[in-house]
Amino acid sequence: MIEFAVETTDGGIGVVRPQGRLNMVAARKLKEILADLVGRDVTRIVVDLGETSFLDSSGLGALIGGVKTTRQKGGDLRIARPTEAVTTVLELTNLTRVLRARDSVETAFDD
């Protein structure tokens, strides 16, 4: 089971916090959330993975799809605070170049 907390900061950055296992079932919901944010012109999005205990290929696909969609609209999707399990998956799939982890949600767009 997974829950998602979604908010938009005062600076217009969308923050999505998956809490639990980001697997095939949850990936569909994440795609919907990201599409909704982009549809509302929120094109800078941080996915806070600090409470994500598991990530599979479907979850990775949803994140990569979010990167593509936000970049097409002139924005970007960044990840913050990945757990050790998530970091391992990112390293094994060589996606650390595309989804470079940030230390915190607050500093994800500071560069």
Residue 49 phi/psi, 5-degree rounding, is: -100, 20
**Rounded to an integer, what distance in angstroms lies between the CA atom of residue 80 and that of residue 16?**
10
The number of distinct structural domains making up the chain is 1
List the CATH number of the domain containing 89: 3.30.750.24
Average pLDDT rounded to a whole number, residues 96-111: 93
Does 2 score more than 80 pLDDT? yes
Average pLDDT rounded to a whole number, residues 18-27: 96
Average pLDDT rounded to a whole number, residues 85-102: 94
Average pLDDT rounded to a whole number, residues 12-25: 96
Write the CB contacts of 73 (distance below 8 Å, at least 6 apart in sequence).
38, 41, 43
**Rounded to an integer, what distance in angstroms lies between the CA atom of residue 72 and that of residue 52?**
26
At 24 the pLDDT is 94
- Is residue 8 a part of any domain in this protein? yes
- Is residue 108 a part of any domain in this protein? no
- Is residue 25 a part of any domain in this protein? yes
